Amino acid sequence: MINFENTFHNLKNDFYANVVPSIPPKPELITYNKNLAKSLNVDLKWLESSEGLECFTGSKVMKNSNPLSMVYAGHQFGNWVPRLGDGRAILLGEVIDNNNERWDIQLKGSGVTPFSRNGDGRAALGPILREYLISHAMNKLGIPTTLALTIAKTGENIRREKILPGAIITRVAKSHIRVGTFQYFASQGKYELLKDLSDYIINRHFPEIDGNKNKYFDLFKCVLRKQAKLVSKWMSIGFIHGVMNTDNCSIIGDTIDYGPCAFMDNYKKDTVFSSIDTFGRYAFKNQPIICQWNLVQLANCLLPLFSNNKEKNIQMAQNEIDQFYQLYENFWSEELNNKLAFKIKDKDDKSLVEELYNIMENDNLDFTITFSSLSSIFKNKKNRLLNYNNNSKNFKKWVLKWKSRLTKEKQSKIEIEESLINNNPFIIPRNHLVEEAIKDANYDNFEKFHKLFDLVSNPFKFDEENHKYHIPPEIINNNYKTFCGT
């Protein structure tokens, strides 16, 4: 049994539509995240039971669930869409975990909602597996993210570019509210509802500012800070979200909506993976500035709540927006300092980092291996990963500068080694591995999927036996594209 609540349902029905999930013809549990289930106080035997399967495929609505789909708007690739909403997602309710934190439980792929916009409300197995796998990897990499509890096949075929098996994912998130949720009400001038939404967010996620004199302005500052930190973490591991629309921008600074996302192999700052991002709006290098752009849209929504002085409100928001990039740079520098084992500040560190990135780009170096190899280089320990940068004379010269820089540190060698190992993953869900796992899974072979899931569960461990999972493919597909599918 699962003990649902649904505080979002207590808001006015302007915020959502009551929805009954579609009943799949032949549901089958494929996998579930055991550790996540335990942390959410979900009994494993119940989860594996017929009732558990019915709950997480929409076949049975549990007590206190009150399933609903949220309404929101958004800028999609910069174009304003006044009404979007959960087109294939249904919020079942909320549960309280072992740390007394509240989590949303949502089904994706569970049928048509009032916001489906001519869609079928279904999801194919491949994108479901991608979200389950990559969100788990992100969590293990220490990056704020939604999580996934279960995957179940529905027993029906889904028509996309071809016929594919259908599936449902149970997504777990501390919030599903987006910048686009605020835009929906602000665009209609419904500022009382916007205030209700802000109060809900503050009460649930930022209670420390609830008694502040200008709590709505402080809410904006909190969101800005969390988003700056989130994107700095993406940039530190070579992750590309792929579709940073305002309706995919979490109000609490978590990574949400794993559609055309991917990790880069060779470092190229212009890398784009999304099949529909034809102009590179959401390229790797653009993610910080797009994050700032999204926050401008949020600021525009919240301005009337700051005070009755319009000009003052604009200036307050502008001051925060102007500080975004420095805030982001500070977070990103902190991430890079950890990756390079720098604890003290040095005036030449910025140029040293810039030199490394230029070498990675010009010499076609693998992003993940460049950083993960540093621990072995520092220890003068040979392993096969080092072969990937052996042909780069520039990288070898840079390593000498980096080692010289480390002599300024007051850390012990063991502390430096630990910093290098604990901040530079050896394992990421590389694109070719994810695609191989999905391809086999479409034919009911989940062996590669489970293997990859186990490996990304411990990303900072190097295992010679699983060497092929640490490295890029022999031939990198520079035209690799991912698709919006979940």
> Are residues 152 and 172 in contact, defined by beta-carbon separation less than 8 angstroms?
no
Sole residue written with tokens 């993210």:
145
Closest-CA residue to 466 (of 420, 424, 428, 438): 428
| Separation of alpha carbons 441 and 9, rounded Å | 36
Burial 356-392 (b: 16+ CB within 10 A, else e): beebbeebebbbbbbbbbbbbbbeeeebebeebbeeb
Is 463 tagged catalytic? no
Between CA 249 and CA 282 the distance in angstroms is 13
CA–CA distance, 72 with 89 (Å, rounded to integer): 13
Sign, Cα dihedral of 52, 57, 59, 63: positive
* 150 and 27 Cβ atoms separated by less than 8 Å: no
Provide φ and ψ at 168, rounded to 5°.
Answer: -130, 135
Instruction: Out of 247, 254, 277, 366, pick the active-site residue.
Output: 247
Q: What is the DSSP letter of 468?
A: G
Between CA 250 and CA 80 the distance in angstroms is: 18
Question: Catalytic site residues?
Answer: 247
